[in-house]
């Protein structure tokens, strides 16, 4: 079982290298606070956080919905504890439908493999009038680099 987990982790890192635009510019309509990635109470509607800060956020604020934007297969192979699988669809689809049901004034936490799709999803949320989105900077890559665990249940 440990060997399968190790192989899955290697697959995550390899998949992140193939993420189109992982070095792409961030959305322009929502400024990113990069001066304080370890603080939880930051300014601005979009906050990118490193692995340690993101973990602190989701553990101290269990009422913040946490969404894994990776594929269902990646989610099943390992995800952050209490995350809900919601594969990102750039056309809206199920992603937009899911967020039409939530309170737009409440914060949302998102992550993907490398951060690219989290930024794209955050832009869609801002277009839907959401006011606060936290994302895991560099996605699962930074989570694993911070030596945080992924669960498989």
SS (H, E, C) the chain: CHHHHHHHHHHHHHHHHCCCCCCCCCCCCCCECCCCCCCCCCCCCEEEECHHHHHHHHHHCCCCCEEECCCHHHHHHCECCCCEECCCCCCCHHHHHHHCCCCCCCCEEEECCCCHHHHHHHHHHHHCCCCCEEEECCHHHHHHHCCCCCECC
Q: What percent of the chain has pLDDT over 70?
A: 70
134-147: average pLDDT: 95
Q: What is the pLDDT of residue 138?
A: 96
Q: What is the pLDDT of residue 151?
A: 96
Beta carbons of 135 and 119 less than 8 angstroms apart:
yes
Q: Would you say residue 58 has pLDDT above 90?
A: yes
User: Which of 6-15, 39-48, 75-84 tops mean pLDDT?
Assistant: 75-84
Q: What is the pLDDT of residue 35?
A: 38
What are 89-101's pLDDT values in tens digits? 766 677 888 888 8
Q: Would you say residue 14 has pLDDT above 70?
A: no
Superfamily, domain 2-145: Rhodanese-like domain (3.40.250.10)
Domain boundaries, the chain: 2-145
Q: CA 139, CA 135: separation in Å to the nearest integer?
A: 8
**How many CB atoms neighbour CB 63 within 10 A?**
6
pLDDT band at 42 (very low <50, low <70, confident <90, very high): low
């Amino acid at each position: 079982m440990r060997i399968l987990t190790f192989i899955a982790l290697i697959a995550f890192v390899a998949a992140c290298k193939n993420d189109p635009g992982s070095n792409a510019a961030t959305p322009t309509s929502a400024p990113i606070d990069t001066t304080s990635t370890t603080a939880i109470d930051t300014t601005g509607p979009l906050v990118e956080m490193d692995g340690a800060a993101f973990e602190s956020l989701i553990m101290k604020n269990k009422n913040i919905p946490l969404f894994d934007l990776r594929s269902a297969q990646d989610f099943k192979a390992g995800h952050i504890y209490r995350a809900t699988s919601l594969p990102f669809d750039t056309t809206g689809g199920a992603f937009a439908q899911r967020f039409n049901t939530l309170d737009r004034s409440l914060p949302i936490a998102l992550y993907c493999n490398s951060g690219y799709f989290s930024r794209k999803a955050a832009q869609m949320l801002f277009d839907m009038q959401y006011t606060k989105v936290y994302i895991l900077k560099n996605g699962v890559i930074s989570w694993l680099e911070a030596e945080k665990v992924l669960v498989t249940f």
